[in-house]
Structure 1
Amino acid sequence: MSGRALATLIALILAGLWGAGLGFAHWRGNLGFLDRVEATMTDLRTLVRGTAKPPELITIVAIDDETVRVEGSYPLSRATLARLVDSIARLEPKAIALDLLLVDPGAKDDDAALARSLGRSASVIAAAAVYPGGRQWAVAEGEGPLARVPDAERFLWPLKAFSDAAAVGVVNVVTDRTGTPRFVPLLFRAGDRLEASFSLRVAALAAGEDPAIAPDHLSLGSRRVRTDIGHILPLTFYGPRGTIRTISAATVLEGQLDRGIIRDRIVVIGATATGAGDVFPTPFDPVLPGVEVMSTAIAHLATDDGIVRDRSVRLADAGFAVVLPMVLVGLLAWRRNAIGLAAVAGVVLIWFVVNMTAFSHHIWLSAALPMAAAVPPALLFGSAQLWLGRNRAQYFAAQSELLQRVEAPGLGEWLARHGDFLKEPVRADAAILFIDLSGFTGLSETLGPSATRELLNAFHGLVNKEVADCGGVVTSFMGDGAMILFGLPEPAANDAFNAARCCARLSSRTNDWLVSLPASTASRLGFKIGAHHGTIVASRLGGEARQHIAATGDTVNVASRLMEIAAEQNAEVAVSDKMLEAAGRDCALFKSGVLRGPVETQIRGRSGSLAIWFWQSARTLQ
């Protein structure tokens, strides 16, 4: 297995383990630090889903500002509450629920009247749980079907006269840090005492059956309601205040009540008057009355239209927490470019659509858990990939720079962009130059290795610069000489012209360089240049491990032999007539120095003669 594959495998395993750890903690209900993110994401999904139609089963009778104005005081007297209950009971509702804490005694006769009214109807009144330290929520760890049920310090119970006349349920809800109600506990305990919630009492009374409690659900008759850890019921709101049908208690007390909205309905009585204080922020409304929160929970239990988050849903969340980070890490390893990022974005979009679709179908898949599971591994792996990619890029940049130094300027860059360049031999017209220092071999014997190297470096440097400035490439340095080609990597119409210009500039620069050397060195050195134009074969030569670019053919051989002829004729440059013809009369060799010829000259190792021109710079003739 390659190093990259092994690193990817380790990253996938670590990402899966990270997700599995978070998923297990979430399945156990021990991942509270994500609650704030989950709450925000739930609000967003609720708003995207939009408002929903509440069931017709619920009618809210609101003790609102109009009721307070008519009755002249708040809270309403127990006698007024008795009249309100009697007026509703006459219209035969399924159940009457008072979302009011009746813990303090009132006028004796009024309390008795309210107790009689509650006793004559199917009614539920409210109690409250008090937690240690004033907290809104506390649980005791344990095992069994009642594990994680809210554990209260005590209950605020209504007056005995009222609790004897009506069923009692606990009204506490669980809110997030913003105060939005997220859950309604269905069971509460304080010591050995176990009590049902207000909403469960009402739903059971309306159904006419006691609930059956199981570890992850409860049953009301034939209906099965799935619950979260600790028998809590997730809440999803239908809309802003008033979405659930609401009528004023003043209308009821005035006898102007429509029988159709009461008969066989669950009627919930609660305070909505300004200053009552029983309000909560929700995604749709910053001040939703508490009675509407209770009515929402009752509706969920009575019609099973709430969102579901139980052990099965949490297990699905854990699965996403394992799979999503592994998929993202795998995609980042698969493609380290825009395609990989697009694939990652596509997977995230698919997950979002699945999550939103599930939510719209009343399944509360966690949004925060997969994010917490996927983002850290993806960021860490992506950052590691970027770091490694940067190091790799720096490595290749260094290699490319080295290649530029080893290969001719421009030729290495071309090879980097065109990997198949000269994979097959290419025939083309090109101009070939050779330059060589005369007397160098004997001089190097006396100079020593270091001085010889410095001398060659200086000579090679000036050749490189002049050739590059004229648009040619040095295909090879051969000790104190160089082979120069005009026509690679691509041939051009002015190759011969540029080659002639290069001859003149090389001659001038080499003369200047020789003059700059110590007299003992310069007096023993000279140079000669041979130039020819014609057809060459350019190709890569060598084995699989090491290759170099070479130009071969008669044109190359002739150019090399012309250096000998230049030395024999005491000229700086020997150039073929074919070369000057291709370069044109405007080339530098015609305009600077002295050009003589053409002279029919025999070329060593070649049958027949060739017309040759000899060029000398003006400065060396003085």
Structure 2
Amino acid sequence: MWTARPPEHVEIKEAFGREEAAGLLFSCRLRVTVLLVIGAWLAYSVPMPRVLYYFGLIALFIILGIVPLVLRRYGRWGVGAIAVIALLDAGLLAYTLLAPNPFVETTWPPQMMLRFHNFLYFFVFLAGAALSYSPGHVLWSGSAAAAAWSIGVYLIWARPDTVVGSGSGPTDPDGFLSPYFVNVVTWQNEVVLMMIVAALLAAAVWRSRRLVLRQVAAEQARSNLARYFSPNLVDRLARAGRPFDEASTQNAAVLFVDIIGFTSIAEGMPPEKVIALLRGFHQRMCRVVFAHHGTLDKYIGDAVLATFGTPKPGDRDATNALNCALGMLREIERWNAKRALRGAAPLQVGIGIHYGPVVAGNIGDERRLEFTVIGDVVNVASRIERLTRQYDTPLIVSGDLVAAVRQEGHDDNLLAGFTESTSSEVRGRRAPVAIWQYDAGAGQSAAPAIIA
């Protein structure tokens, strides 16, 4: 099993970009929903034709909400577009709050619009900007809101009939109580308060963004681990940091499985079908390995190397390995039944399992790390798997594996289909290896076998 070290920040940025796109879509939907609710309320509470003016403004707000989605779809959604849309949004809101309704005849002077605390609606606008997951966008939206409101207040303040005050109290009948009065201090407080709230929201968005980034990174790491480890180990490994830096010696079951006669099969197939066959085989075998709490070590051509008891030994590793092998045979039977419906030839596999001490840990360098097991047990398991051709059986296990299954004692009937065969000599080892073959009587040989 190997993992190259990709530029994780790039992958996380791409993943977060997808989250931002989803947030943009959610914000647009929420905006349209809220505006439609407001429109329904206005239709109920405001008589015709006054309500038509507000309907027009609502339509403009909806269009401004949809424009970002259109720009993003065509690849035009960037920092400049975001800034322009925020300015147009803030400007339209300021106009809505300060400009008089042309369908209403009123004797109120424009200065009275500043007495209704309409500025509070800008905080709703700012809350909507927080859905962007962008602290910069929140600060920009706050600045745009403050600027748009300030321009509106200035246009009213600059009218020749405006009475200007500082908020310290009326000094004459034409002061504070005048309908033409504009309080400059109130405007200053509104702008300062808007920027403070924008900064607080930006800080909150920044913190939530970091939390989301950590969650995305953790999920990415978990997804990578899930490609190699059974689900029951993924959570523990995802929290463990770098658990494989130090090699460890431990007992484990090592399983090899491959397609018998794959070279001959591949010779008569086009390359794309060979790849499809390998993917189908690997996918099915990997699924069975994970279902029995095994670890996928590596693919070696058409072969699969899996281990049981790594990275942490358990009390049923040998049992899981043997159950996995039997599950693989059942999976191949089901696959062959489907292949037969398409007129494809059946496949045969050979499986070999050995149990004993292995050395487990990372090998390679920082750019390409491979967690694997090495040792005599791995070599013997590979050579036992090759014996399946000689004995004409799909599954052979070592006597050490059988002894471990019995010692674990989880399933007394698991060995019912196995028969002990003649001990086999393994090249490079002095002592022969006791082997057990599945479905006794399928082409046994009384002569000792030499494992090449």
TM normalised by structure 1 equals 0.40
Q: 1:138 aligns with which of 156, 159, 163?
A: 163
User: Corresponding residue for 2:228?
Assistant: 407
Q: Is the 8 A contact 1:540 1:548 kept in 2?
A: yes
Deviation at 1:612, TM superposition (A): 1.3
Task: Give the structure with the larger strand fraction.
Answer: 1
The answer to whether 1:613 aligns with 2:432 is no
The answer to whether 1:458 aligns with 2:264 is no
1:229-249 per-residue CA deviation (whole Å, 9 max, x = no partner) reads: 9xxxxxxxxxxxxxxxxxxxx
Deviation at 1:376, TM superposition (A): 2.5
Q: Is the 8 A contact 1:542 1:548 kept in 2?
A: yes
* Mapped partners of 2:192, 2:255: distance in 1: 68
Q: Secondary structure at the match of 2:254?
A: strand
Q: 1:423 aligns with which of 245, 259, 265?
A: 245
Deviation at 1:492, TM superposition (A): 0.8
The answer to whether 1:476 aligns with 2:304 is no
Q: Could you say if the C-alpha distance between residues 620 and 414 of structure 1 is closer, same or farther in structure 2, counting changes exceeding 3 Å?
A: farther
User: Corresponding residue for 2:368?
Assistant: 546
Deviation at 1:531, TM superposition (A): 0.8
Amino acid at match of 1:502: C
Q: Is the 8 A contact 1:589 1:615 kept in 2?
A: no
The answer to whether 1:601 aligns with 2:424 is yes
1:267-323 per-residue CA deviation (whole Å, 9 max, x = no partner) reads: xxxxxxxxxxxxxxxxxxxxxxxxxxxxxxxxxxxxxxxxxxxxxxx9xx99xxxxx
* Mapped partners of 1:176, 1:489: distance in 2: 80
- Report matched runs for 1:70-89 at 5 Å: none
* Mapped partners of 2:320, 2:163: distance in 1: 90
Q: Is the 8 A contact 1:530 1:575 kept in 2?
A: yes
Q: 1:505 aligns with which of 327, 333, 343?
A: 327
* Mapped partners of 2:309, 2:423: distance in 1: 27
* Mapped partners of 2:421, 2:412: distance in 1: 13
Q: Secondary structure at the match of 1:613?
A: strand
User: Corresponding residue for 1:581?
Assistant: 403
User: Corresponding residue for 1:522?
Assistant: 345
Q: Could you say if the C-alpha distance between residues 590 and 599 of structure 1 is closer, same or farther in structure 2, counting changes exceeding 3 Å?
A: farther
* Mapped partners of 1:473, 1:512: distance in 2: 23
1:25-74 per-residue CA deviation (whole Å, 9 max, x = no partner) reads: xxxxxxx999887xx9xxxxxxxxxxxxxxxxxxxxxxxxxxxxxxxxxx
Percent of pairs with identical residues: 24
* Mapped partners of 1:35, 1:420: distance in 2: 62
Q: Could you say if the C-alpha distance between residues 492 and 451 of structure 1 is closer, same or farther in structure 2, counting changes exceeding 3 Å?
A: same
Task: Give the structure with the larger helix fraction.
Answer: 2
Deviation at 1:575, TM superposition (A): 1.0
Deviation at 1:173, TM superposition (A): 8.7
* Mapped partners of 2:245, 2:210: distance in 1: 31
Q: Secondary structure at the match of 2:258?
A: strand
Deviation at 1:488, TM superposition (A): 2.2
Q: Could you say if the C-alpha distance between residues 458 and 173 of structure 1 is closer, same or farther in structure 2, counting changes exceeding 3 Å?
A: same
Two-structure CA RMSD over aligned residues (Å): 4.9
Amino acid at match of 1:460: H
Deviation at 1:174, TM superposition (A): 5.0
* Mapped partners of 2:246, 2:331: distance in 1: 37
Q: Is the 8 A contact 2:222 2:235 kept in 1?
A: no
Q: Is the 8 A contact 2:357 2:377 kept in 1?
A: yes
User: Corresponding residue for 1:563?
Assistant: 385
Q: Could you say if the C-alpha distance between residues 604 and 149 of structure 1 is closer, same or farther in structure 2, counting changes exceeding 3 Å?
A: closer
User: Corresponding residue for 2:20?
Assistant: none
Q: Is the 8 A contact 1:589 1:595 kept in 2?
A: no
Q: Secondary structure at the match of 2:433?
A: strand
Q: 1:449 aligns with which of 257, 271, 274?
A: 271
Q: Could you say if the C-alpha distance between residues 409 and 574 of structure 1 is closer, same or farther in structure 2, counting changes exceeding 3 Å?
A: same
User: Corresponding residue for 1:438?
Assistant: 260
Q: Is the 8 A contact 2:398 2:435 kept in 1?
A: yes
- Report matched runs for 1:170-185 at 5 Å: 172=173, 175=176
User: Corresponding residue for 1:492?
Assistant: 314
Q: Secondary structure at the match of 2:305?
A: strand
* Mapped partners of 1:560, 1:496: distance in 2: 16
Q: Is the 8 A contact 2:393 2:443 kept in 1?
A: no
Deviation at 1:422, TM superposition (A): 0.4
Deviation at 1:172, TM superposition (A): 4.8
* Mapped partners of 1:576, 1:458: distance in 2: 28
* Mapped partners of 1:514, 1:589: distance in 2: 30
Amino acid at match of 2:291: D
Deviation at 1:408, TM superposition (A): 3.6
Q: Could you say if the C-alpha distance between residues 535 and 384 of structure 1 is closer, same or farther in structure 2, counting changes exceeding 3 Å?
A: same
* Mapped partners of 1:441, 1:566: distance in 2: 17
Deviation at 1:416, TM superposition (A): 2.8
Q: Is the 8 A contact 1:577 1:598 kept in 2?
A: no
* Mapped partners of 2:441, 2:333: distance in 1: 11
Deviates more, 1:513-522 or 1:370-379: 513-522
Deviation at 1:395, TM superposition (A): 5.9
Deviation at 1:466, TM superposition (A): 1.4
* Mapped partners of 1:470, 1:177: distance in 2: 83
Deviation at 1:574, TM superposition (A): 1.4
- Report matched runs for 1:156-305 at 5 Å: 172=173, 175=176
Deviation at 1:517, TM superposition (A): 2.6
* Mapped partners of 1:373, 1:386: distance in 2: 20
Deviation at 1:554, TM superposition (A): 1.3
Q: Is the 8 A contact 2:311 2:360 kept in 1?
A: no
Amino acid at match of 1:138: V
* Mapped partners of 1:488, 1:176: distance in 2: 82
Q: Is the 8 A contact 1:593 1:618 kept in 2?
A: no
Q: Is the 8 A contact 2:254 2:381 kept in 1?
A: yes
Q: Could you say if the C-alpha distance between residues 560 and 397 of structure 1 is closer, same or farther in structure 2, counting changes exceeding 3 Å?
A: same
Q: Is the 8 A contact 1:500 1:589 kept in 2?
A: no
Deviation at 1:542, TM superposition (A): 1.5
TM normalised by structure 2 equals 0.53
Q: Could you say if the C-alpha distance between residues 399 and 466 of structure 1 is closer, same or farther in structure 2, counting changes exceeding 3 Å?
A: same
Gapped regions of structure 2 (runs ≥ 5): 1-8, 14-78, 84-111, 121-160, 445-452
Q: Could you say if the C-alpha distance between residues 571 and 378 of structure 1 is closer, same or farther in structure 2, counting changes exceeding 3 Å?
A: same
Q: Is the 8 A contact 2:316 2:410 kept in 1?
A: no
Q: Secondary structure at the match of 1:584?
A: helix
1:400-441 per-residue CA deviation (whole Å, 9 max, x = no partner) reads: 475256434436654432221101112211111111111001
Q: Secondary structure at the match of 1:420?
A: coil
Q: 2:355 aligns with which of 516, 521, 533?
A: 533
* Mapped partners of 1:555, 1:33: distance in 2: 85
Q: Is the 8 A contact 2:163 2:175 kept in 1?
A: no
* Mapped partners of 1:490, 1:397: distance in 2: 21
Q: How many residues align?
A: 295
Pair member with larger Rg? 1
Amino acid at match of 2:369: Q
Q: Is the 8 A contact 1:467 1:502 kept in 2?
A: yes
Q: Is the 8 A contact 1:601 1:610 kept in 2?
A: yes
Amino acid at match of 2:224: L
User: Corresponding residue for 2:137?
Assistant: none
Q: Secondary structure at the match of 2:281?
A: helix
